[in-house]
Amino acid sequence: MKNNIFGLLSIAAVLAVTTFFIASQNEGVWVAPPEADKLKNPFEGEKKSGKGENLFSLNCERCHGNTGKGDGVDGKKLNPKPADLTSKRVQKQSDGAIFWKLSNGRGEMIAFKNTIGEKDRWRLVNYIRELGKNQMAFFESKKTNSSAIKFFNSEFKRK
């Protein structure tokens, strides 16, 4: 009897370790290589993303949703889910890192370097910034609590 319990416990331990391993491989945080941070955005500082919005609705919206929250129709069945591009986690990355990710892809996230030209990929980066700001504007428009607004301002401020 003792042996049986011990056997079951070891099986449970092996299962737990395997599950953790598989989960960490699938949902591991996606980090762009450090050299990506050095890429120069040719449209840096431009207020409008130009064609960015059109490119986004054509290529990205079905997974990332029209406000970039990751709630597009085709994204629902994916694991991991399409990223919330308005989130602090994404917005705090450099333009170069975002550019690198949408160029090279990973898993279900398509590598767009073969289908979208370099300049247009930078326009998409700028549009992702716009989506991040819209999200912030939404919180500001609530104007309920000024300390909450300050918090969001500081959280979303780019370095």
Task: Rank residues 50 and 80 by Cβ distance to ligand HEC and give the closer one.
Answer: 80
Task: Rank residues 142 and 158 by Cβ distance to ligand HEC and give the closer one.
Answer: 158
Q: Which residues bind ligand HEC (CB under 6 A)?
A: 30, 59-60, 62-64, 74-75, 78, 80, 82-83, 90, 93, 98, 101-102, 106-110, 112, 124
Provide the minimum distance between the beta carbon of 97 and ligand HEC in the complex, in angstroms, as a whole number: 7
CA–CA dist 39, 34 (Å, integer)? 10
The answer to whether the beta carbons of residues 59 and 120 sit under 8 Å apart is no
**Residue 80: closest CA among 107, 100, 62:** 107
Provide the minimum distance between the beta carbon of 48 and ligand HEC in the complex, in angstroms, as a whole number: 17
Task: Rank residues 78 and 149 by Cβ distance to ligand HEC and give the closer one.
Answer: 78
The answer to whether the beta carbons of residues 62 and 43 sit under 8 Å apart is no
Provide the minimum distance between the beta carbon of 148 and ligand HEC in the complex, in angstroms, as a whole number: 25
Provide the minimum distance between the beta carbon of 64 and ligand HEC in the complex, in angstroms, as a whole number: 5
Task: Rank residues 37 and 74 by Cβ distance to ligand HEC and give the closer one.
Answer: 74
Residue type present at position 24: S
CA–CA dist 94, 158 (Å, integer)? 8
* Helices 146-156 & 118-142 angle (0-180, nearest 10): 170
The answer to whether the beta carbons of residues 157 and 92 sit under 8 Å apart is no
Provide the minimum distance between the beta carbon of 120 and ligand HEC in the complex, in angstroms, as a whole number: 9
Task: Rank residues 81 and 149 by Cβ distance to ligand HEC and give the closer one.
Answer: 81
Question: What beta strand segments (E) does the chain contain?
Answer: none
